[in-house]
Amino acid sequence: MQWTITLLLLQKNVPRKNKKAQRVHENEKKKQKEFNGHTVGEKAKRVDEDTSGDEGISSNPQAACNLIKSEDEIDSVISDTREEIFDTGEEMFGSLRTQFRTYHNLKFRGTFTVPNDSLVSDREWIDMIAKEIWKVTGYRFMISVKDHKQLQTGHQMHFWCSQDEARKKKSNVSKALKHVHYFDVTLPPSAMDTIQENVEWLTPAAMAAKVQAAYPLITSAQIHVAWMQMSQIFWHRDHLQLPSTQKLLNEYRDDVDIFLLKNIPEGVDILCWGMKKIERLLHRKIIEVGLDATYNTNLKHLELYSLMAEHDNAGFPMSYCLLSTATSIEQGKRKKALAGWATCIKEAYHINPVFVHKSAWQKKSGTQRSTYAGGTSVKQCRLGWVRENLPQRHTMFSGPT
């Protein structure tokens, strides 16, 4: 099966103007117009712009597209264009890319052969080729029902520039209709390989910075989704978040203590664990603690809390708590659950702090004041934590906000 691809470009590298830029451009054109016979009380007479030097090609892409309007004109241009024959589609698109970057005005007609595939229709072949042309040139086309027809030997389609005023259609407003990007935003295989190689060592933020340095058009959301899918082998143990977390923690019993809390309100889901090795290093040396919380960090209405301990001007994570109160109707459910967690940590790790740091949420809950009654409250402070011999992603600095 042989396919003949014809592409006609009358102007290249013309940036698409937004409304504001277009207004500025029109105002500048008005200022540059020449007037004759301009006197006080007299109307100015405009002199028509000299177009004798034009080559028939407009710098406006809309005007350039309107130079060809009928199928007869298209057929005549195609017949006048020299046909280039290529062995593969890669060779044809490579030649198109080279010519597109070299010539100001381009008429390109290329032919290459593809094997017959009964699962791919003629229309689908043309759609795939059009997308490849988009990647090579950056141009976007539009197609109407009248511009394609079935032939005895194949399928013929005419693509028009998306800025063609002559074929502009009335906007069809639709909600959640995603705009077609003017550049390729798919995640290339080489970027996927980079994520795969570093998935065990880099956080999503560090991964995004590394990948976007090589591929600026890729979004952080794309990188995060790819990182999450590839890293599931390290942390995903169950389709439910809390059971999955508990199964994962059970695999690291030498590093963490999993606590069973008492007097937790009905309907509250809570999972707490402590950092065993850190507690051994700071046993009975802690005089300063603080609680911090995260918000909207997952899709399962779970809140993450951390108990930080200060030693030698550095903060260390002593314990973490995953909490959900979505299914509980008891009054003060969050305060009671957090108080139970703080009490458990105090008794298990023998923590009797002198200073207690308050955060914004704790001012309302009063959890630390009731649990660590002997401590002195101080102003809001963010405690980071430092661990030796770990990558940079595990390092934060402590200090007041």
Q: Are residues 101 and 193 in the same domain?
A: no
| pLDDT classification of 212: cutoffs 50, 70, 90 | very high
DSSP 192-249: HHHHHHHTTT--HHHHHHHHHHH-TTS-HHHHHHHHHHHHHHHH---SSHHHHHHHHH
| pLDDT classification of 278: cutoffs 50, 70, 90 | very high
| Burial group, residue 340, by CB count within 10 angstroms (0-12, 13-18, 19+) | buried
Please tell me the predicted confidence (pLDDT) of residue 337.
92
| Residue for token pair 């010519």 | 99
Q: Are residues 217 and 245 in the same domain?
A: no
Express each pLDDT in 33-76 by its tens digit.
544 444 333 333 433 444 333 333 333 443 334 444 455 666 67
Express each pLDDT in 137-152 by its tens digit.
777 666 655 566 777 7
Edge-to-edge strands, sheet with 303-311: 256-259, 269-275, 314-324, 303-311, 288-293, 355-357, 376-378
Q: Are residues 259 and 388 in the same domain?
A: yes
- The tally of domains found in the chain comes to 3
Edge-to-edge strands, sheet with 106-113: 2-9, 106-113, 84-85
Q: Is the pLDDT of residue 263 over 50?
A: yes
Q: Are residues 146 and 272 in the same domain?
A: no
In a domain, 53, yes or no: no
Please tell me the predicted confidence (pLDDT) of residue 130.
79
Q: Are residues 348 and 388 in the same domain?
A: yes
Strand 256-259 to 269-275 pairing: antiparallel
Please tell me the predicted confidence (pLDDT) of residue 164.
66
Q: Are residues 273 and 306 in the same domain?
A: yes
In a domain, 65, yes or no: yes
Q: How many residues does the chain have?
A: 401
Range 339-359 average pLDDT: 86
Q: How large is the angle between the packed helices 189-198 and 204-214, nearest 10 degrees?
A: 150
Q: Are residues 124 and 221 in the same domain?
A: no
Residue 9 · residue 106 · CB < 8 Å: yes
Element (H, E) at 9: strand 2-9
Query: What gap in Å lies between CA 168 and CA 142, rounded to an integer?
Result: 9
In a domain, 97, yes or no: yes
Which whole-number Å values give the CA distances from 355 to 81, 351, 373, 380, in the listed order? Answer: 83, 11, 10, 12
In a domain, 32, yes or no: no
331: tokens are 């009054």
Q: Are residues 300 and 368 in the same domain?
A: yes
- If one counts every other C-beta atom within 10 angstroms of the C-beta of residue 134, the result is 18
Q: Are residues 220 and 266 in the same domain?
A: no
DSSP 3-state assignment of 310? strand
Q: Are residues 116 and 255 in the same domain?
A: no
Domain that holds residue 380: 241-394
Query: What gap in Å lies between CA 4 and CA 228, rounded to an integer?
Result: 43
| pLDDT classification of 376: cutoffs 50, 70, 90 | very low
Residue 189 · residue 215 · CB < 8 Å: no
Residue with the bigger pLDDT between 279 and 159: it is 279
pTM of the model: 0.48
Please tell me the predicted confidence (pLDDT) of residue 107.
77
Residue with the bigger pLDDT between 191 and 369: it is 191
Express each pLDDT in 243-254 by its tens digit.
999 999 999 999
Strand 154-157 to 148-151 pairing: antiparallel
Residue with the bigger pLDDT between 11 and 280: it is 280
Q: Are residues 383 and 313 in the same domain?
A: yes
Residue with the bigger pLDDT between 154 and 271: it is 271
Side chain identity, residue 293: A
Q: Are residues 156 and 203 in the same domain?
A: no
Element (H, E) at 36: strand 35-36
In a domain, 299, yes or no: yes
DSSP 3-state assignment of 148? strand
In a domain, 25, yes or no: no
Residue 140 · residue 180 · CB < 8 Å: yes
In a domain, 282, yes or no: yes
Query: What gap in Å lies between CA 360 and CA 401, rounded to an integer?
Result: 12
In a domain, 113, yes or no: yes
